[in-house]
Structure 1
């Protein structure tokens, strides 16, 4: 289907252009969430409506361009916060809703990987078909000298070799790489989900960010002191920026 073809094209382009989530990406997301939570606790949920409606013009989001460019993560967080502003949904119901959205996005992200994996699985079979056709053509030359027959049979076996090589050496790893990217997308969204749910349960920015930090993959997880230092510095800058107009 054309939808699958477009999805595969988009996934391949993203694989070539984007980079894998790094430690700084997770740190940036945690600091952004902490700034939003502190603003909500201080000024209420209504105070972030302008930031969510026009994130490109938001002073908070402008400080985190890498997160702003992650359109799905941005939409995931913004839609959840908007839901909190207009409903009185509980943490359990919100958790189920976020799980459904994450799984739906994950299944959609796996479509290109599964499609390419199916192509990879078919390549050895195509190689065997090419070999059989080569043998059939060789049978026409059965009366030829051994040198001619050997050349023809060798050409037939090249089809099998190419099928196996493309399957396990190129197309198969390509599909697994796309699956790896989909898994990393899900891990990133899970961190955002845990922060939001923790903030709903206990409206404490420190607790919510710590819940989210614990979900970050181990090799990318910042330490407690490292994150606390960055968050404290961000709070100082935010307080200075909010107070500077009053001094002028």
Structure 2
């Protein structure tokens, strides 16, 4: 919602200020389709050249994050802590019984209590792989932690591709605007024998290209890239929480301490309160019983 509001504010402030200053939209509207074709088309072509098909699809999909915001909400962090508590508790009580849950999470009654987490393949894979590692009796928990860190860095690098791709387009838009403006000037110079009022409109139309390139770069595409980056980083905390709790488990801390480590490492605006989490854990225990 705030993304849509921001776009509306940009257009009202820019074009509203132009109109209030005495500017006329006629010349902009007349030139806009052709300038947008040149600038937008060149930007789209450059985007396709610099990315493979998977990268193009990934970026187009991630644009929705500008308007949807982070995937994981405060209640999801609470549910994740409850899920990890149930799994750690079962692994400590019955190491054999935990195997059916980590080998077939889609059929697990523990995972099925949290369908949103179960639907995220990376979260489920991260949980199951790490618990499986714990069952292999690793002598050095730091080794598992290092593997998890590298895995999460690789995932973050992949997730950031959309932001980098959009920022590259934003960086190129002002130059493409200049290209369109130069073409407009060339067109004007070919009509140099026309009267001043005609030449003035032609030069104004050429300058629309420069305006449009800068406006799109710093008013829309650049902020889109920044927002996608922010959302990806925000969602990354969810997977970091998995690592913190399960690494604490590898150090043989009691289950309650492992969960508290995770709660303390949750971002403050997403962190469940201590009492709230206690109630959720009690409810999870009752459901398991």
TM-score calculated relative to the size of structure 2: 0.78
Name 2:201's counterpart in structure 1.
151
Matches within 5 A, 1:138-177: 138-177=188-227
On the 8 A contact 2:69/2:231 being kept in 1, the answer is no
Name 2:56's counterpart in structure 1.
5
Name 1:48's counterpart in structure 2.
98
Count of aligned residue pairs for this structure pair: 238
Q: Which whole-Å CA distance do the structure 1 matches of 2:90 and 2:169 have between them?
A: 50
| CA positional deviation for 1:172 | 1.4
Is 1:226 the equivalent of 2:270? no
Structure with the higher fraction of residues in helix conformation: 1
CA RMSD of aligned residues (A): 1.8
On the 8 A contact 2:82/2:281 being kept in 1, the answer is yes
Name 1:200's counterpart in structure 2.
250
Is 1:27 the equivalent of 2:75? no
| CA positional deviation for 1:10 | 4.0
On the 8 A contact 2:70/2:235 being kept in 1, the answer is no
Name 2:143's counterpart in structure 1.
93
Matches within 5 A, 1:82-121: 82-121=132-171
Gap regions ≥5 residues in structure 1: 240-248
Name 1:81's counterpart in structure 2.
131
Cα distance change, pair 16–78 in 1 and its aligned pair in 2 (3 A)? farther
Q: Which whole-Å CA distance do the structure 2 matches of 1:78 and 1:18 have between them?
A: 27
Instruction: Say which of 257, 260, 278 aligns to 1:210.
Output: 260
On the 8 A contact 2:70/2:231 being kept in 1, the answer is no
Q: Which whole-Å CA distance do the structure 1 matches of 2:64 and 2:199 have between them?
A: 45
1:170-206: per-residue Cα shift (whole Å, max 9, x none)? 2112212221222023211111100001111124110
Gap regions ≥5 residues in structure 2: 1-51
Q: Which whole-Å CA distance do the structure 2 matches of 1:72 and 1:57 have between them?
A: 17
On the 8 A contact 2:70/2:232 being kept in 1, the answer is no
